[in-house]
Amino acid sequence: MNRILVAGAGPVGLTAALALARRGRRVTVLEAGDALAGQSRASTFHPPTLEMLDDLGVAGELHERGLVSPTFAYRDRRAGLVALLDLAVLAGDTRYPYRLQCEQSKLTPILLDHLLRHDGCEVHFGWPVAGIAQEPGRVTAIAADGRTLDGRWLIGADGAHSATRRALAVDFAGITYPERFLVASVHDELTGWLDGLAAVNYVYDPVEWCVLLRTPDRWRVLLPTPDGTPDSAELERLPARLLTIHDPGRPWRIAHAGMYRVHQRVAATFRAGRVLLAGDAAHVNNPLGGLGMNSGIHDAVAYAKALAGDDDAAVTAAAAERRRIALEYVQSVSHQNYERMRDADPAARAAHLETLRATAADPARARAALLKSSMIASLRPVAA
């Protein structure tokens, strides 16, 4: 009965489980799938996330699989490199003054391995949480086939389509962008194709904005697609669009391409009785800035701290604080990133690019900007 249940064995659910296990709690993770998800999705770890993973004893293994990226770049489609931001200016603020580029699918096996070293901790695959029942001091997870499991608390970290959130009838209000995002991974090595390419590059343009992002395995390209076009037509014209970024005299070698709808949504509450919502189950945002998985891991660590003490007021406060951060920081910064990259007003775009240039050239301004984009300022007060 003192067991804590976690729905979802993604990076958020497994981080919550490991953080609780390390605080001496028994945890059962219930995962709908038959195995850990293999898709690569998020791939940037920000400094405070690396600190948290270090506290959990897994940062070393993650670094063995990832790529340290001390800089990232803002570019303009026509003018090329505009500003290179160097996270080294955060050396006094974090023990990880860089981003680690690494697919989330490389973190989850590490978390699982560490979790299963703790007595009384277990993961049940093929266990989709479909319903929730609650009574004082107890929450029951109900599977689609009628199996049940009792716990003292449950963390719903079962993704954007969270069955936990639906079972609780918690509203998930927000917007869906008219554009879909097309993400292609390529076998090509982009370094050398464009001057001053960093591992993460935000390329501004009113129509053909894009992100060029390196993971340990491959380069990825994110492109917007217009509203209302068939997915098949967008995938068909992808090779021609890639040639407008750089033409190596042959087609780019596309490894994989997929399209998805982008939402900005936040759950009406992150706590309903003995259930907490975390990660994509609680909040979703566009991927620009790499805030989604990172903020989900921050939810997980904050909840584990509050739940380990079994203090009701601390649990309420953690859920409220994580919702405030989702609304005031993650939603707002990710949406601003989107609006700025595609700004159609030439004067506003030029002014913003000039601000980025000036920021990169001034260490104090760069530190202030990077404290925000690296998510440090969302978590703790920072000295000026």
Ligand X SMILES: O=C(O)CCc1cccc(O)c1
- Applying CB under 6 A, the residues found at the interface with ligand X are 44, 183, 200, 211, 213, 220, 222, 287-290
CB nearer to ligand X: pick between 121 and 257: 257
Contact 94, 376 (CB under 8 A): yes
| Nearer CB in complex with ligand X: 2/176 | 176
Cα–Cα dist 373/366, whole Å: 10
Evaluated on CA atoms 101, 105, 109, 112, the torsion sign reads: positive
Q: Which residue has the tokens 């879909």?
A: 180
Q: Write out the two tokens for 323.
A: 């919702």
Angle between helices 363-373 and 346-361 (to 10 degrees): 110
Using the minimum distance from each CB to ligand X, give the nearer residue, 218 or 323: 218
Residue 383: burial class (beta carbons within 10 Å; 0-12, 13-18, 19+): exposed
Which single residue brings its beta carbon nearest to ligand X?
Answer: 290
Closest distance of CB 42 from ligand X, Å: 7
Are 161 and 20 in contact by the 8 Å Cβ rule? The answer is: no
Q: How far apart are CA 184 and CA 221, in angstroms?
A: 5
Three-state secondary structure call for residue 280: helix
- Shortest Å distance, C-beta 252 to ligand X: 15
15 vs 285 by CB, closer to ligand X: 285
Dihedrals phi, psi of 179, to nearest 5 degrees: -75, 145
* Least separation in angstroms between CB 27 and ligand X: 29
Q: How far is CA 285 from CA 171, 217, 301, 337, 370, in A?
A: 16, 25, 20, 11, 20
Closer Cβ to ligand X, 172 or 181, answer by number: 181
The answer for residues whose C-beta is within 8 angstroms of residue 137's C-beta and 6 or more apart is 1, 152, 274
Smaller CB distance to ligand X: residue 156 or 289? 289
Minimum CB distance to ligand X, residue 104 (Å): 10
Residue 288 Cβ vs ligand X, minimum distance, rounded to whole Å: 5
Residue closer to ligand X by CB (options 147, 253) is 253
- Least separation, in Å, of the C-beta of 384 and ligand X? 26
Q: How far is the CB of 224 from ligand X (least distance, A)?
A: 12
Is residue 53 within 8 A of residue 62, CB to CB? The reply is: yes
Work out how close the CB of 144 gets to ligand X at its nearest, in angstroms, rounded to a whole number.
30
- The CA-CA-CA angle for residues 6, 8, 169, to 5°, reads 80
Measured from the CB atom, the residue of 28 and 44 that comes closer to ligand X is: 44
